[in-house]
């Protein structure tokens, strides 16, 4: 294998397969070293994509299985069952990463290592085409998400007070701020269509921002956390105030004491086990509608609400 082919093979393993579609779709000679290296890179990429997809499915459906069918065992899931789910996921990812590393080293050294499954995949033009398309879709999705993140951050560059829609979040001290405008992007767009610009506020949850939202908002998304281990505070949510180095616990009784404004129409309680006191929350926020979870709440369903259901609710009118 000459140096030029080796350099191209390294580039293929680093994601450059999309730049050479002619090798796949118009290539006639499949016996050249360049085609073999190209097809091997696509095969390894397909195995990696399959491993990631399988890992995500195991993680999501594993949690859903426990959350929906056996909610009382979530506490043991977090400390024991979580590792049971992690084993097959880590094994899949480790296997795919090892496969890629061996293939990459082979590309650098000009070798052609015998790798499991790769030899069968490179003989299937349909699988190679699928790998190419998956890589292309991933790049398009990544570019779209970058654009959405940039646009969302611009729209949420400064807090709006008072606002019609609030997203109050607990970043737990490590989640970057751009994540929250991105998550709220579709709601920002729906709000702009309904009321015009500058009607959405995205900010950390504090006692002050919570009180302000309760008095002024029509819709509130509370991105906070709950826990099954709180025997005395089941259904409550908590957030951390870094400035005061304190953890605040808020329950429906406290909301009833402070009261809510007449504009509030809907509130989304994202924290786990909020449904343990659903009736109390409903009374505290009455007459506003609420969404709560009597189990472990998962990020995929929050994303579904943030990007599909709540924007639709805003466009139709919050009743």
> What are residue 295's phi and psi, to 5 degrees?
-160, -170
Read off the pLDDT of each residue in 302-314 and give the average, rounded to a whole number: 93
Q: What is the pLDDT of residues 179-191, one digit of tens each?
A: 999 999 999 999 9
Pairing status of strand 246-250 against strand 237-241:
antiparallel
Residue 88's pLDDT band (cuts 50, 70, 90): confident
Give the bridge partners for 167, in sequence order: 202, 221
Q: Is 60 exceeded by the pLDDT of residue 73?
A: no
Q: Cα 64 to chain center, whole Å?
A: 16
**DSSP structure string for 169-181:** E--TTTS-TTHHH
Residues 6 or more apart whose CB falls under 8 angstroms from that of 257 comprise none
Nearest to 164 by CA among 206, 197, 188, 200: 200
Please name the residue that has the structure tokens 């504009």: 263
The first and second tokens of residue 208, run together, are 């002050």
In what side-by-side order are the strands of the sheet with 289-291? 200-204, 165-169, 219-223, 266-269, 289-291
Domain 157-316: top CATH class: alpha beta
Overall average pLDDT of the 228-239 stretch: 71
DSSP class of 225: B
Q: Where are the domains of the chain?
A: 3-142, 157-316
3-state secondary structure of 73: helix
State pTM to two decimals: 0.80
Closest CA to 247 of 218, 284, 279, 207: 207
118-165: pLDDT as tens digits:
989 998 989 999 999 999 999 999 999 999 999 998 888 777 888 999
In the chain, % helix, strand, coil (3-state, to 5) comes to 60, 10, 30
DSSP string computed for 245-258: TEEEEE-HHHHHHH
CA distance 94 to 107: 20
Categorize the per-residue pLDDT at 230 as very low, low, confident or very high, splitting at 50, 70 and 90.
low
Closest CA to 221 of 271, 175, 182, 179: 271
Average pLDDT for residues 257-265, to the nearest whole number? 87
Helix extents (H) in 14-116: 21-25, 33-69, 74-76, 82-109
pLDDT at 293: 86
């Amino acid at each position: 294998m000459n140096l030029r082919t080796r350099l191209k093979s390294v580039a293929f393993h680093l994601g450059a397969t999309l730049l050479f579609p002619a090798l796949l779709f118009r290539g006639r000679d499949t016996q050249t070293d360049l085609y073999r290296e190209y097809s091997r890179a696509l095969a390894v990429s397909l195995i990696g994509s399959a491993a990631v997809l399988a890992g995500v499915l195991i993680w999501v459906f594993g949690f859903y299985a426990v959350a929906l069918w056996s909610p009382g065992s979530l506490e043991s899931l977090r400390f024991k069952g979580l590792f049971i789910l992690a084993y097959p996921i880590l094994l899949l990812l480790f296997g795919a990463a090892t496969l890629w590393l061996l293939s990459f080293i082979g590309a650098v050294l000009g070798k052609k290592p015998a790798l499991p499954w790769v030899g069968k995949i490179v003989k299937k033009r349909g699988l190679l085409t699928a790998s190419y398309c998956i890589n292309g879709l991933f790049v398009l999705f990544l570019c779209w998400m970058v654009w959405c993140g940039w646009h969302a951050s611009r729209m949420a560059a400064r807090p709006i007070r008072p606002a019609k829609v609030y997203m109050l979040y607990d970043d737990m001290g490590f989640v970057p701020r751009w994540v929250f405008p991105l998550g709220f992007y579709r709601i920002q767009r729906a709000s702009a269509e309904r009321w015009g610009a500058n009607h959405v506020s995205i900010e950390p949850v504090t006692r002050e921002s919570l009180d302000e939202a309760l008095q002024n908002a029509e819709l509130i998304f509370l991105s906070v956390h709950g826990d099954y281990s709180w025997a005395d505070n089941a259904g409550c949510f908590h957030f951390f105030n870094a400035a005061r180095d304190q953890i605040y616990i808020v329950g429906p009784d406290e909301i009833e004491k402070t009261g809510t404004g007449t504009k509030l129409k809907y509130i989304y309680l994202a924290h786990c086990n909020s449904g343990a006191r659903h009736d109390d929350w409903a009374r505290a926020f009455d007459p506003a509608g609420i969404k709560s979870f009597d189990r472990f709440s998962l990020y995929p369903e929050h994303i579904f609400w943030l990007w599909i259901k709540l924007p639709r609710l805003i466009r139709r009118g919050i009743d």
